[in-house]
Amino acid sequence: MQTKTGTEEQMREQLHVIAVDDEPFNLELLKAISLQTYPHMLIFTDPKSALEHISSNPVDILLVDYMMPRINGIELMKLAHEINPEIMTIMITAAGDDEKVKLEALKMGAIDFLKKPINAAEYRARISNITKLKLSQLILDDFNHQLQKEVSKATQALLQREQEALKVLSNAAEYKDPETASHVARVSHYSKLLALKYGLNEEEQEIIFYASPLHDIGKVGISDALLLKPGKLDETEMDAMKKHCDIGWKILHSSENPYLKAGAIIAKNHHEKYDGSGYPQGLRGEQIPLYGRITAIADVFDALTSKRPYKEPWPFERATEYLQAQSERHFDPQLCELFISHIDEVRSIYEQFKNA
């Protein structure tokens, strides 16, 4: 967008004005009486040359004769406005041109008319009004542009603070669990990758990127004795551990924030299994929300390929074989296949965030 600043006189001198007429004498006359108002006005005898200029240069005001060969003034105005809808056009008509011409010109966007032979005093008065109108439009456009920039800055700042808060919230569970920041980072990126390959739009990819690390937020409500136990949990202990899904849901679900709402869904559903054998609700297949199905794959794969106090990391090949074996049992088969078929990108994420 072109921006003009300064005093009204300075802004007027910055206006880009062109005149088009197939009669050179008419153009020279028009340029002469415009000298004080538009000292840099450009003139064209060929409408096609004028259109080429409009296509590659800013033009604020267009003065165009109606009667021209090949392309008349109305046709030129229509084409010019398709290129630049902000152009203000003044149609120059012969005294004998009928009202139909004026009506058609108005429909095409003309804002005023001048009759031949041009009266210099009338011309200057009309052009002065149009200039003020154009300058007002440019000032308003510039104000709106600056306002949009300020709103965009404020929005970005709010988004950044929101994302920082989400990161802090995601890290909260780490203080109660031996999992590391590396796990959180990889789950985020694995989930976003899977969302992309599944065909979710950019907004949904961003939501799952920031929401998936909240999957275990409910562990803040689980005792350290369970979270840090090195051996296998017994049935009673496992029942207590499973409550972290509902705890996470209760922490997050009442928020209107889209990231936290998605986090609540993920926290509740990332331990559900495709065959219905998961928890806490025993959902089956597509009863399990998509975000939960995506995060389940990302979370389990990273857990398998990560070192924990009670296990060594699995090689990628072994973890991939596990996913294949659990397709349609634990995992959504379509998502599972997408994840495995893009395992090279998964490996790149792993290497990038190996020691985050």
- CB-based contacts of 15: which residues, under 8 Å, 6+ apart? 4, 38, 60, 61, 131, 134, 135
**Is 290 found in the same domain as 218?**
yes
Domain containing residue 131: CATH number: 3.40.50.2300
**Is 204 found in the same domain as 140?**
no
| CA–CA gap between residue 325 and residue 332 (Å, rounded) | 12
Neighbours of 13 (CB within 10 A): 14
Residue 35 C-beta-side C-alpha neighbours within 13 Å: 4
CB-CB contact of 181 with 174 (8 Å):
yes
Mean pLDDT of 113-138: 79
| CA–CA gap between residue 350 and residue 301 (Å, rounded) | 11
**Is 341 found in the same domain as 207?**
yes
- Residue 177 pLDDT > 60, yes or no? no
pLDDT digits (tens, 9 = 90+) for 321-351: 999 999 999 999 999 999 999 999 999 999 9
Asked whether residue 165 is domain-assigned, the answer is no
Asked whether residue 159 is domain-assigned, the answer is no
Q: Which run of H or E residues covers position 340? A: helix 333-341
Average pLDDT of the chain is 84
| Structural domain range at position 124 | 8-147
More confident residue, 75 or 354: 75
Domain count, the chain: 2
**Is 340 found in the same domain as 259?**
yes
| CA–CA gap between residue 61 and residue 72 (Å, rounded) | 18
| CA–CA gap between residue 196 and residue 192 (Å, rounded) | 6
**Is 80 found in the same domain as 18?**
yes
More confident residue, 348 or 70: 348
**Is 125 found in the same domain as 257?**
no
Mean pLDDT of 268-289: 96
Of 131, 147, 163, the residue that ends a domain is 147
* 8-state DSSP, 315: P
Domain containing residue 266: CATH number: 1.10.3210.10
For the whole prediction, is pTM greater than 0.75? no
**Is 341 found in the same domain as 248?**
yes
Q: From 62, 71, 59, 253, select the one nearest 138 (Cα to Cα).
A: 59
Asked whether residue 89 is domain-assigned, the answer is yes
Asked whether residue 153 is domain-assigned, the answer is no
Asked whether residue 237 is domain-assigned, the answer is yes
**Is 326 found in the same domain as 204?**
yes
Among 285-289, 344-348, 351-355, the range scoring the smallest mean pLDDT is 351-355
Q: From 7, 16, 150, 149, select the one nearest 86 (Cα to Cα).
A: 16
pLDDT of residue 1: 44
Helix (H, G, I), strand (E, B) or coil at 79: helix
Of 127, 147, 167, the residue that ends a domain is 147
**Is 245 found in the same domain as 104?**
no
Q: From 185, 183, 188, select the one nearest 207 (Cα to Cα).
A: 188
CB-CB contact of 266 with 292 (8 Å):
yes
Asked whether residue 164 is domain-assigned, the answer is no
**Is 139 found in the same domain as 238?**
no
**Is 127 found in the same domain as 40?**
yes
Among 142-156, 188-202, 243-257, 323-337, the range scoring the smallest mean pLDDT is 142-156
Asked whether residue 292 is domain-assigned, the answer is yes
**Is 327 found in the same domain as 211?**
yes
Cα–chain-centroid distance for residue 38?
Answer: 40
Residue 235's identity, in one-letter code, is: E
Report the length, in residues, of the chain. Answer: 356
Asked whether residue 316 is domain-assigned, the answer is yes
* Lookup: tokens for 186: 């990889």
More confident residue, 138 or 253: 253
pLDDT digits (tens, 9 = 90+) for 207-247: 999 899 889 888 888 877 787 777 788 888 899 999 999 99
